[in-house]
Amino acid sequence: MNLDRMPKPTDLMENPQLAILVSLETTLIAAMRALLAEHTDLLDDAFPRQVAELDYWADRIIILGCEMEKALGKYLTASLENGVQGGEDF
């Protein structure tokens, strides 16, 4: 995670929801790294390899986590550039 992308206090004053989005992104990255640390076989490029069910699901979570991280990053970038609209209806 790049700390340069952290919202500034002025960004949070205008869009406080960015705080939870940055928190989610940071937690997601930590979770994916923890899964890789536990399932080091996923880093092995040798084939064929024995894959346990837990390895399969860890790999799936990591793949989906990467997609989620990309989407969060794009949303955060757009939010900081354009400001977040909406939320007034609640």
Q: What is the pLDDT of residues 8-65, one digit of tens each?
A: 888 888 888 888 888 898 899 999 999 999 988 888 776 666 778 898 999 999 999 9
Asked if the structure places residue 8 within a domain, the reply is no
Domain that holds residue 39: 15-80
Position 1 confidence tier, pLDDT thresholds 50, 70, 90: low
pTM above 0.85, yes or no: no
**Confidence at 87, pLDDT banded by 50, 70, 90:** very low
Q: How many domains would you assign to the chain? A: 1
Residue 88 resides in a domain: no
89: confidence class by pLDDT, cuts 50, 70, 90: very low
Residue 27 lies inside a defined structural domain of this protein: yes
Q: What pLDDT, on the 0 to 100 scale, is given for residue 28? A: 93
Q: Hunting for tokens 């939320």 — which residue is that?
A: 87
